[in-house]
Structures are given as structure tokens and as C-alpha cells.
Amino acid sequence: MMKTRIQNLLTEMNKSIYEKNNEIALSLLAALAGESIILLGPPGVAKSMVARRLKVAFSDARSFEYLMSRFSTPDEIFGPVSISKLKSSDRYERAVDGYLPTADVVFLDEIWKAGPAIQNTLLTVINEKLFRNGSAEMHLPLKLLVAASNELPAKGEGLEALWDRFIIRLECRPILREQNFIDMLTDGTSEVKTGDTQKPDDAVSFEAITNDEYATWSSMIDKVILAPVVIDAILSIRRALHNVNIDDAEERRDIYISDRRWKNIVRLMRTSAFIHDREQCDLTDVIPMYHCLWQEPEERDAVRNIVIRVVFAPLAQKLADLKQQVNEDITYHRQEHVRSFEDVIEQIGDDVRHLDESISDNLFVSEDDCSEIRSYLKDFYKEIAFTRQDLAKLY
């Protein structure tokens, strides 16, 4: 089964790194979808290690990483100009071997410090997997580009197009759990990247993804169907993003998501469904997509709340309709619908629990996300209890 294989792979990728399960899982999702990811966070929180872990996922993968500065040149990223070809045939070509154009997994740190020449080339590299080398156009083996920064792109400097190319956006935090922090301090290594002493050496066997498998999976992902309920959810989220309340501020925000970005988000959802051995997307694939929908970090939690409410909206509407029908029967002293009402409310409760369990079982939903969903469902279950109390009045 695909899910079991990917789960084993994620276990292997996580066994020597602390509290980066979600970053690694979503990076792998981006890689299998052919998309990109940016990690935002201070220095020293294992952003580069996340990218290095992704190399493990692919058989015979080549990687390239570079720390950008305002002095970085295209030669350092895409390879130096070949002097021999320039002399022998008057051709301006780069010697790309060992540089970004020949890499499967790329990590570019401090991405916003790169100059316009590098950033403009990256637009085509990320979106189309193409690189123009002299007069020839190269189709790149690139599966994933991971960028990192401790800041957002400066406004007014023309960086919006590059920012939009990073489909998944994640904030990386220092180690939060005290026991993990203690383990990191005492594991006897010199770097934060190792030291998960809770996993045995022979924990899980895994199978790296070959290039042929990657190509085959890509075509299979294209065939994954979007269920009507998922399309409805996307439309509801899109409408809600035009009027987002951030920290109870008086002025609501209109979060812009480009059409290209929506298309790429759907690609991620199809990939998630494929990894979970399904032939069509369902609502569980929608939850992790909030990582693609915020423009500034302070918008993230509000966007996540929107997505959670939209995912449970069909069940919330069923409950609201039932409450209205129950109240009408109370008003008119009708009792003939009591049994059917009991069946409906029982089914709503079962559906909520089933959806909650399915979301928790999704490889790309974090523990924090599950906590937020549990918080939301507390109120949902209260409404179910109130409806049961109203239903009891009909007896």
C-alpha cells in the first residue's frame, strides 16, 4: 500500500531530527506533487536538515544547497560559464554539473538576499522545471526546491512573483517539548540534527523512490478525482478569504490567492489522496492546505480556522437543519418525527467522529492541527447535546 510505504519513508527521514515531522511530511508531499516549499524561521532550527532529509526519499538523488547573500552570482547557483565551449565554438553555456540544474533536491537559504538575476531565473526553474543554458533548454530533474529565510520578502521590490511560487509556507520553531530539548543537549553529538534516542537502529525498513516510480506516480496523480464536496469546500474557502478577521482587528483582510496557486493547491490535494490510497480527494485532504493560503504569518491561524469550519460545514448544516425541525415540532406539539430525528442526530455524531478520525490519520495533518480541530469539535458536540435535550421535550 502506498500509505504504508510513505509512512515508513517518513519514519526513516524523521529518526535523527527533532520535532520536524510536519515540515518533513509536507516537504515530501510537495516533492511528490512537483511543487516547492519555503521554511520561515530563525537560524538554528534545522531548516537545512529538512532539505537534506528529503534526499533520502529518492533513489540516487543529487542535492544542491547554497547560502545566499547580496553578493551571490548566477555562476554560484547555476554553474560557471564553460570557457572551453566559449573558446572552441563561441557558445555561451554553463558547466552545470554539480549545480542546481542537475540536482533532484535543492535548498536555498536566505532566498530573499539573492539578486534579481538569480531570482528571475528561479521563477522558471520552480514553475516549469526548465533552465535555459545558452541556446538550449534543459528539462530539470528537480523534484523539490526548499527555500528558507528568517523574514518575509520586502514589499515593493518585485518579489511577489517568487513568493507566490512557494506553494507551501511553514514556520519553523525551536524545540518546544522539554524532554526533546534535554535529549538534544545530552545525546553526545555536536549538531541538533541527530539524537532521537527513542527509535531503535532497526526501526523501519524503507524503499527509496526511483525516477521511474516518480514519473509513473505523477501521471497517476493527474487522474485523481476531485469529489463534489471538495470542490464546494474550495469555493467556500475562496469566498471566505476575501473577508478574514485577524486577531479581532476592526479591518478585515482580503487574502489574494492567484489562479495558478489554486491550481497547484489542487495538485497537492490530489497527491495527498494518492498517497493515502484513494482515487479521489476527500475533505481530509483539504485541512493541510491552509499552509498554502496565508500571505503573512499572523494570518495563518485565522486561515486554519476558516478551513476547519469549511470542512465540517456540511455536518454543521445538517445539525442546524435538524435543530430547526425539532424546534418546529416542539412548537406544534408533533411527535411523529421523533424516531427519525434520533436516527439523524446519531448519524451526524458518527459522521463527525469518523471525519475527525480520518483527519487525525492523515500523514500531513500535524498534532497542532488536530488540537485545533478538537477545540472546534467541543462546541460541535455541545450543540449535538443541546439538540438531544430539545428532542427529549417531544416525549
Q: In this structure, what C-alpha cell is assigned to residue 327?
A: 424546534
pLDDT for the residue 202: 46
pLDDT tens string, the chain, 395 residues long: the values are: 899 999 999 999 988 788 999 999 999 999 999 999 999 999 888 888 898 899 999 999 999 999 999 999 999 999 999 888 877 777 888 999 999 999 999 999 999 999 999 999 999 999 899 999 988 899 999 999 999 999 999 888 889 999 999 999 999 988 888 888 888 788 765 554 433 334 434 445 688 999 999 999 999 999 999 999 999 999 999 999 999 999 887 789 999 999 999 999 999 999 999 999 999 999 999 999 999 999 999 999 999 999 999 999 999 999 999 999 988 888 877 777 778 888 999 999 999 999 999 999 999 999 999 999 999 999 999 999 999 898 887 66
Indicate if the alpha-carbon torsion angle 368, 372, 375, 377 is positive or negative. negative
pLDDT for the residue 395: 65
Alpha-carbon distance of 121 to 144, in angstroms, equals 16
Going by the DSSP 8-state scheme, the letter that residue 216 receives in this structure is H
Alpha-carbon distance of 341 to 346, in angstroms, equals 9
Alpha-carbon distance of 60 to 73, in angstroms, equals 28
Residue matched to cell numbers 549545480: 99
Contact 168/179 with Cβ under 8 angstroms? no
Q: Does residue 289 sit in helix, strand or coil? A: helix
Contact 133/96 with Cβ under 8 angstroms? yes
Nearest to 77 by CA among 137, 142, 136, 23: 142
pLDDT for the residue 201: 46
The helix or strand, by DSSP H or E, that contains position 368, with its residue range, turns out to be helix 367-392
Residue matched to cell numbers 467541543: 378
Residue matched to cell numbers 526513516: 12
pTM of the model: 0.91
pLDDT for the residue 330: 81
